[in-house]
Amino acid sequence: MTERVKCAVLISGGGSNMQALAQAALDEAYPAQIDLVIANRPNAGGLDKARRFGIQAMCIDHKDFENREKFERALHSVLHQAGIELVVCAGFMRVLTPWFVSRWPGRIINIHPSLLPKYKGLHTHRRALEAGDTEHGASVHWVSEELDGGAVIAQAHVPIAPGDTEESLAAKVLLKEHPLYVRALRSTAQKILESRGKN
């Protein structure tokens, strides 16, 4: 059996990017396997999608914890016990604190709907339109202690048409996000496997 990197995907909503990754991981030649999906919201639609792939899916509701660190300690414990090697954020609407990031150095990736370093944070499509940009897109990047500030792994570009709205631009970017994340996770997991072989 091919050696693969054990991944957990963190979601908050419908999990369309997670679904694209799970679909790719059905191929045993794909270097990442999705072992676990965790949502921070009990009504996240991505949980049922994950279960349909036969992936263990669970909710750790951030509202059950009195502060961010207690939530992250619970999340860290579950990931650690599951033997997870790479944490994949896919529409996970929680900013991870330095406490958590420092415990997973070089082991958390995220997808962000802009061409980083442009438009870190929220409302990226609106900001690109307001700036009069001619192109927009998505970036997969390493998660660092700075919000959306880690090194970029891969990007996909989308032209902005004269009549684009926030909604139409968001839809175009999302279509690019799925193959981008599949490609970026493949290259990231491959590098982890290669470095493992050198140790």
pLDDT digits (tens, 9 = 90+) for 109-146: 999 999 999 999 999 999 999 999 999 999 999 999 99
Active site positions, annotated: 112
Pairwise CA distance, residues 188 & 5, whole Å: 10
What is the set of domains in the chain, with CATH numbers? 5-198 (3.40.50.170)
Backbone angles phi, psi at 81, to 5 degrees: -65, -30
Of 104, 47, 99, give the one whose Cα is nearest residue 73: 99
Pairwise CA distance, residues 146 & 61, whole Å: 24
pLDDT digits (tens, 9 = 90+) for 51-82: 999 999 999 999 999 999 999 999 999 999 99
**Measuring CA to CA, how many Å separate 190 from each of 3, 4, 42, 87, 195?**
10, 8, 32, 15, 9
pTM: 0.96
